[in-house]
């Protein structure tokens, strides 16, 4: 069956928003905010080549398996985890959560206040704040074993979230860099509008149109859980699968509140569509 977005009857952006809505994701809930994929892997070139497959992220693999070394480590964790923890999974963190959403949008109200309240009343340590698209990609795709975050829709239409127009004092990094506007890839020429324009072009490109269904399988489809998820290195802590857990049958109030707290802090898997 040919998908609507493959037949160019609907944009990839609209298609993803439709799937997010079907899966119960909403702008009204930071804990179930719409989730969008990283589509690019090139944040260093002066110009963006959308005809080169190497420009793009591997949409058939979750963020935890973007490099062979990282994938190996997460498989090793999955195989070892049963000795130490009750839950066997590849990832104990999630690709979408309230804190991830608020951290991306921290330069805009009301997300600034949301972020601070989630952080206990203040901004995070500057080095951990969202300050650079490239360093966030490097962290989520390669460097940080506790970071498998994906993106939010705003990365494809809202240049304002990339600028510190309210002049918030976000702190100073260890290397002396004062946090202000988000650092953009060279191909954006320091212009948030140019970044959004090219990033949206990338989302709507032939390459992404041809491979997007593979990412959808991971997030919304049959590779979301079960044996297909194990094979795809795409399993998360059982508490993230909120709709798979019958909380009504859990009698212990402490366990129940722990699970609910876990979901609210760390995110949850979308409903399968």
| Angle at CA of residue 37, ends 34 and 41, nearest 5° | 155
What is the structure's pLDDT at 263? Answer: 67
Beta-carbon neighbour count of residue 96 at 10 Å? 26
Q: For residue 272, tell me if it sits in a domain.
A: no
Cα–Cα distance for residue pair 252/244, rounded to 1 Å = 18
Query: How far, in whole angstroms, is CA 108 from its chain's centroid?
Result: 19
Q: For residue 196, tell me if it sits in a domain.
A: yes
What is the structure's pLDDT at 190? Answer: 97
What is the structure's pLDDT at 243? Answer: 61
Q: For residue 269, tell me if it sits in a domain.
A: no
Q: Which parts of the chain sit beneath pLDDT 70? A: 1-8, 81-86, 242-248, 262-265
CATH number, domain with residue 169: 1.10.1540.10
3-state secondary structure of 36: strand
Q: Are 188 and 198 in contact (CB under 8 A)?
A: yes
Range of the domain at 41: 4-264
Q: Which of 212, 237, 210 is nearest to 225 (CA)?
A: 237
Q: For residue 247, tell me if it sits in a domain.
A: yes
Q: For residue 29, tell me if it sits in a domain.
A: yes
Beta-carbon neighbour count of residue 128 at 10 Å? 13
Cα–Cα distance for residue pair 18/101, rounded to 1 Å = 19
At 36, give phi and psi (nearest 5°): -125, 155
Cα–Cα distance for residue pair 155/43, rounded to 1 Å = 14
Q: For residue 271, tell me if it sits in a domain.
A: no
3-state secondary structure of 217: helix
What is the structure's pLDDT at 148? Answer: 97
What is the structure's pLDDT at 259? Answer: 72
DSSP secondary structure, 159-178, as one string = GGGGS-TT-----B-TTSPB
Cα–Cα distance for residue pair 39/216, rounded to 1 Å = 12
User: Burial letters for 195-204: b for 16+ Cβ neighbours within 10 Å, e otherwise?
Assistant: bbebbbebbb
What is the structure's pLDDT at 261? Answer: 72
What is the structure's pLDDT at 83? Answer: 57
Give the chain's domain count. 1
Q: For residue 189, tell me if it sits in a domain.
A: yes
């Amino acid at each position: 069956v040919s998908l609507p977005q493959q037949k160019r009857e609907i944009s990839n952006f609209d298609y993803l928003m439709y799937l997010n809505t079907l899966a119960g994701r909403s702008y009204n809930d930071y804990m179930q905010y719409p989730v969008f994929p990283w589509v690019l892997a090139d944040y260093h070139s002066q110009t963006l080549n959308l005809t080169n497959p190497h420009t793009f992220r591997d949409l058939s693999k979750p963020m935890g398996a973007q490099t062979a070394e990282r994938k190996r480590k997460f498989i090793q964790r999955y195989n070892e985890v049963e000795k130490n923890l009750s839950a066997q999974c590849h990832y104990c963190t999630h690709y979408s959560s309230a804190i991830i959403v608020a951290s991306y949008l921290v330069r805009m109200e009301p997300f600034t206040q949301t972020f601070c309240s989630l952080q206990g009343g203040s901004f995070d340590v500057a080095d951990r704040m969202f300050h650079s698209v490239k360093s966030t990609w490097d962290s989520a795709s390669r460097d940080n074993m506790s970071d498998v975050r994906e993106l939010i829709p705003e990365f494809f239409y809202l240049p304002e979230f990339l600028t510190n127009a309210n002049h918030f004092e976000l702190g100073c990094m260890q290397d002396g860099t004062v946090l202000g506007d988000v650092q953009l890839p060279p191909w954006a020429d320091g212009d948030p509008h140019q970044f959004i324009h090219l990033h949206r072009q990338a989302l709507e490109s032939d390459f992404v149109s041809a491979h997007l269904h593979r990412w959808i399988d991971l997030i919304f489809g049959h590779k979301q859980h079960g044996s297909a998820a194990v094979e795809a290195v795409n399993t998360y802590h059982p508490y993230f699968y909120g709709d798979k857990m019958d909380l009504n049958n859990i009698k212990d109030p402490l366990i129940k509140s722990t699970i609910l707290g876990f979901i609210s802090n760390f995110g949850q898997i979308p409903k399968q569509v």
